[in-house]
């Protein structure tokens, strides 16, 4: 039988044993992470993203940097948000407070597997939400989206690790930083862009926030790829914006984009058409050959020039150089398209020739030319000849071009140097080059432009020829009342006719007037009535605007014409007066139009 003393000793030993087991279990649980203090990591993140047709998909499979951040914010029971970099970013924002998932200490002890499953589901759901983030408009206001992200993080505790992760091309196309509106920012110092944002007070407050950028430059069609210098500038702009706004750091992730582009496979409701940023060629240097030469006065000399740089799809860009002779000019010494013409009486002993890039006028090269005396007396220019003597150009395609030949004639052997000028053009992109190229811009509205070719030795010796721009007005119609040749509105008919008068006079061209009728129900096939309508419009041209009758060809087509809409027979239930009214008309077309010629000859079917 145990004594009271023995019982007391056993109780003490048992208490110590139980205590030791509890302490050991506690530290073991702490070591394996089952229980313990709150997670030491404290992290909040805002993802700025906007899927578009010109974006590459997010790479979740091979992007450990992104994967780490998604796992981190969930495991730390932190706070996350998604801001869509749309034209109106404030309209698309999602919030995730993972603190709601924080288990009790007891739960972490007794059911750690369930806790880990909950975290894994949350991580998966965040990835799904990021993949589903979809732009609603073509524009992307990335700067405002970053501003909203910073405001969201400003409500988080200051001791917390806060980060903005931007996923996108970096080509903002809306708001104060709009590269589509002013792509000059891609070609200038990033400091100028940030200074502008400083002045207008549009830098976000990023104090203490880290900015990390994924997939900058990773564009897809229709957006052109950025050349190397523009990539450097774009990264510089965003880096300077972040750091000047107080960011704790700016990081660029080198993880590759996804293998696909965004399309309806990922987004059942489709994606908006995008606003693209135009990319212009970049010239880095000009090579001119030779850089030194001796040229005899009264003769010519040809240089070669080449631009080096990044030209993308614009393969013609390297060929465009502006040639010039800086300093005091001599009227007979000129350079055009690399061909130098030296006047016989130029008193200078040397000149400098420059070849400047038309893309970037700060990039140029020079050549030094020594002028030697002309051994024989020059000829005297007396006339200028231009071939062809008649020029007609279209404006249906941009930059329609023709090349002319110019010769200067006269006694002896006159200098062939000449000067070409244009007068009467309305579009500054309509130009004449001194090598004889004439380019008509697509936006040119003049019907006749004058080309002057003059001797560079004597500008009083010149010839002028007209350049006719063949641009017929749109096909117009004149409407008529009922079964008659009476205009539905005479004033409208006069206005329609007047659109064609200038074309006829400028082009010395002709037109077709095609008369139409509603149906076969009146007057057989309606030929007589439709001819009367065509004649009525012809009389407007002749009597109101004094147009030569031989230039106006009127023909009645009845109901057998390309524009006829069948409307039934008069007096039947199927008759449609609105359709009949639309068929009572005369259609005006250019006599040079092949379709009009087919209609006139009855071969259009």
Residue 579 has pLDDT above 50, yes or no: yes
pLDDT: which is higher, 229 or 44: 44
Q: What is the pLDDT of residue 133?
A: 78
Q: What is the pLDDT of residue 65?
A: 83
Q: Per CATH, which fold does 43-252 belong to?
A: Rossmann fold (3.40.50)
Smallest CA-to-CA distance from 150 within 93, 190, 100 is with 93
Asked which of 113-117, 227-231, 373-377, 479-483 is least confident by mean pLDDT, the reply is 373-377
Q: What is the pLDDT of residue 233?
A: 82
Beta strands in 130-228 (DSSP E): 161-167, 173-174, 177-178, 210-214
The Cα 485–Cα 290 span in angstroms is 74
Q: With contact defined as beta carbons under 8 Å apart, do 174 and 141 qualify?
A: yes
DSSP letter, residue 396: S
Highest mean pLDDT among 21-30, 88-97, 190-199: 190-199
Q: What is the pLDDT of residue 285?
A: 85
- pLDDT tens digits, 482-533: 888 999 999 999 988 988 888 888 777 789 999 998 765 555 568 899 999 9
pLDDT: which is higher, 58 or 182: 58
Per-residue confidence band for 90, with pLDDT thresholds at 50, 70 and 90:
low
Smallest CA-to-CA distance from 134 within 275, 271, 276, 273 is with 271
The Cα 268–Cα 447 span in angstroms is 50
CATH annotation of 380-470: 2.60.40.60
Residue 165 has pLDDT above 60, yes or no: yes
Please list the alpha-helical segments (H only) found in 489-565: 490-507, 527-539, 545
Do strands 210-214 and 161-167 pair parallel, antiparallel, or not at all (unpaired)? parallel
The reply to whether domains 282-372 and 380-470 share a CATH topology is yes
Q: What is the pLDDT of residue 525?
A: 64
The Cα 323–Cα 334 span in angstroms is 9
Whole-model pTM?
Answer: 0.48
User: CA 417 → CA 373, 434, 452, 455, distances in Å?
Assistant: 18, 10, 14, 6
Domain ranges of the chain: 43-252, 282-372, 380-470, 476-601
Please tell me whether the peptide bond between 388 and the residue prior to it is cis, using omega within 30 degrees of 0.
yes
User: Cα–chain-centroid distance for residue 554?
Assistant: 45
Per-residue confidence band for 546, with pLDDT thresholds at 50, 70 and 90:
very high
Residue 584 has pLDDT above 60, yes or no: yes
The Cα 561–Cα 527 span in angstroms is 11
The Cα 298–Cα 416 span in angstroms is 9
Q: Name the β-bridge partners of 370.
A: 294, 350
- pLDDT tens digits, 348-385: 999 999 999 887 788 899 999 999 987 666 788 888 89
Phi, psi of 70 (to 5 degrees): -65, -45
Residue 331 has pLDDT above 50, yes or no: yes
The Cα 397–Cα 388 span in angstroms is 21
Smallest CA-to-CA distance from 446 within 424, 463, 431 is with 424
Smallest CA-to-CA distance from 237 within 208, 214, 260, 216 is with 216
- DSSP per residue over 38-70, as a string? S-S--EEEEEEE-B-TTBBPP-STT-HHHHHHH
Which of left, alpha, beta for 312 (phi over 0: left; psi -120 to 50: alpha)?
A: left
Residue 125 has pLDDT above 80, yes or no: yes
- Give the mean model confidence (pLDDT) for residues 250-263: 70
The Cα 44–Cα 67 span in angstroms is 15
Smallest CA-to-CA distance from 55 within 163, 135, 154, 162 is with 135
- pLDDT tens digits, 283-300: 778 888 889 999 988 888
Q: What CATH number does domain 282-372 carry, 3.40.50.2300, 3.40.50.10140, 3.40.50.300, 2.60.40.60? A: 2.60.40.60
CATH C-level class of 476-601: alpha beta
Give the torsion through C-alpha atoms of 11, 16, 22, 26, to 10 deg: 160
Widest CA span in the chain: 152
Q: With contact defined as beta carbons under 8 Å apart, do 229 and 217 qualify?
A: no
Q: What is the pLDDT of residue 157?
A: 82
Q: With contact defined as beta carbons under 8 Å apart, do 270 and 232 qualify?
A: no
The pair of three-digit structure tokens given for residue 1, joined into one six-digit string? 């039988």
Residue 23 has pLDDT above 50, yes or no: no
Q: What is the pLDDT of residue 513?
A: 94
The Cα 588–Cα 249 span in angstroms is 68
Q: With contact defined as beta carbons under 8 Å apart, do 344 and 372 qualify?
A: no
DSSP letter, residue 91: G
- pLDDT tens digits, 386-445: 888 877 776 554 456 778 888 888 888 888 888 889 998 888 888 888 778 888 887 787
The Cα 467–Cα 453 span in angstroms is 13
The Cα 549–Cα 440 span in angstroms is 31
Q: What is the pLDDT of residue 98?
A: 86
Residue 31 has pLDDT above 50, yes or no: no
Residue 71 has pLDDT above 50, yes or no: yes
Q: With contact defined as beta carbons under 8 Å apart, do 541 and 497 qualify?
A: yes
Spatial neighbors of 252 by CB under 8 A, at least 6 apart, are 212, 213, 216, 235
Helix axes 228-244, 190-199, angle to 10 degrees: 40
Helix axes 112-132, 64-75, angle to 10 degrees: 130
The Cα 408–Cα 413 span in angstroms is 9
Q: What is the pLDDT of residue 365?
A: 92
Per-residue confidence band for 13, with pLDDT thresholds at 50, 70 and 90:
low
Smallest CA-to-CA distance from 246 within 348, 140, 154 is with 154
Q: What is the pLDDT of residue 315?
A: 45
Asked which of 159-173, 266-280, 378-392, 549-563 is least confident by mean pLDDT, the reply is 266-280
Per-residue confidence band for 273, with pLDDT thresholds at 50, 70 and 90:
low
Residue 314 has pLDDT above 70, yes or no: no
Asked which of 17-21, 131-135, 177-181 is least confident by mean pLDDT, the reply is 17-21
- pLDDT tens digits, 196-227: 888 888 888 899 999 998 888 777 677 777 77
Element (H, E) at 464: strand 462-470
pLDDT: which is higher, 160 or 587: 587
Q: With contact defined as beta carbons under 8 Å apart, do 529 and 522 qualify?
A: yes
- pLDDT tens digits, 44-68: 999 998 666 666 667 777 778 888 8
Smallest CA-to-CA distance from 58 within 260, 201, 217 is with 260
């Amino acid at each position: 039988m145990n004594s009271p003393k023995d019982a007391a000793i056993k109780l003490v030993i048992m208490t110590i044993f139980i205590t030791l087991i509890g302490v050991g279990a506690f530290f073991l649980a702490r070591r394996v992470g089952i229980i313990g203090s709150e997670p030491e990591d404290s992290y909040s993140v805002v993802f700025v993203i906007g899927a578009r047709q010109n974006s590459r998909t997010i790479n979740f499979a091979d992007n450990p940097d992104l994967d780490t951040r998604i796992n981190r914010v969930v495991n730390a029971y932190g706070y996350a948000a998604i801001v869509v970099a749309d034209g109106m970013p404030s309209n698309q924002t999602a919030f995730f407070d993972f603190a709601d998932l924080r288990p009790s200490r007891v739960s972490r002890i007794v059911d750690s597997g369930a806790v880990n499953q909950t975290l894994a589901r949350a991580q998966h759901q965040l990835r799904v939400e990021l993949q589903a983030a979809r732009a609603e408009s073509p524009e992307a206001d990335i700067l405002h989206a970053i501003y909203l992200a910073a405001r969201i993080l400003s409500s988080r505790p200051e001791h917390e690790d806060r980060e903005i992760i931007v996923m996108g091309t970096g080509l903002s196309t809306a708001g104060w930083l709009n590269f589509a509106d002013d792509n000059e920012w891609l070609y200038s110092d990033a400091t100028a862009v940030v200074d502008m944002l400083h002045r207008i007070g549009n830098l976000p407050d990023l104090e203490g926030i880290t900015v990390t950028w994924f997939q900058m430059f990773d564009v897809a069609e229709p957006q052109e790829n950025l050349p190397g210098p523009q990539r450097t500038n774009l990264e510089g702009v965003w880096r300077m914006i972040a750091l000047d706004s107080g960011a704790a750091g700016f990081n660029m992730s080198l993880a590759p984009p996804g293998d696909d582009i965004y399309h309806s496979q990922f987004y059942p409701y489709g994606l908006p058409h995008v606003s693209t940023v135009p990319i212009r060629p970049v010239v880095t240097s000009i090579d001119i050959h030779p850089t030194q030469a001796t040229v005899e006065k009264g003769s010519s000399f040809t240089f070669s020039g080449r631009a080096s740089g990044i030209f993308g799809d614009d393969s013609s860009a390297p060929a465009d150089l502006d040639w010039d002779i800086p300093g005091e000019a001599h009227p007979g010494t000129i350079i055009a398209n690399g061909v130098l013409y030296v006047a016989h009486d130029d008193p200078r002993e040397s000149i400098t020739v420059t070849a400047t890039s038309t893309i970037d006028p700060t990039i140029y090269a020079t050549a030094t030319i020594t002028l030697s005396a002309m051994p024989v007396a020059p000829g005297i220019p007396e006339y200028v000849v231009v071939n062809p003597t008649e020029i007609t150009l279209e404006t249906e395609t941009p930059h329609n071009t023709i090349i002319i030949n110019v010769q200067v004639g006269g006694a002896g052997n006159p200098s062939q140097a000449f000067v070409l000028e244009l007068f009467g053009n309305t579009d500054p992109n309509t130009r004449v080059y001194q090598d004889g190229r004439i380019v008509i811009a697509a936006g040119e509205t003049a019907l006749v432009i004058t080309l002057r070719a003059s001797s560079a030795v004597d500008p009083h010796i010149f010839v002028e020829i007209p350049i006719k721009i063949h641009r017929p007005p749109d096909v117009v119609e004149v409407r008529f009342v009922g079964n008659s040749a009476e205009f539905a509105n005479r004033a409208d008919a006069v206005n329609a006719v007047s659109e064609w008068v200038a074309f006829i006079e400028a082009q010395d061209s002709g037109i077709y007037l095609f008369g139409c009728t509603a149906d076969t129900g009146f007057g057989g096939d309606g030929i007589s009535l439709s001819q009367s309508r065509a004649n009525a419009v012809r009389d407007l041209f002749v009597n109101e605007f004094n147009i030569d009758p031989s230039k106006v060809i009127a023909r009645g087509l009845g109901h057998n014409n390309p524009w006829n809409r069948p409307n039934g027979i008069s007096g039947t239930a199927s008759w449609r007066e609105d359709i009949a009214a639309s068929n009572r008309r005369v259609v005006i077309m250019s006599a040079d139009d092949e379709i009009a010629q087919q209609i006139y000859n009855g071969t259009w079917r």
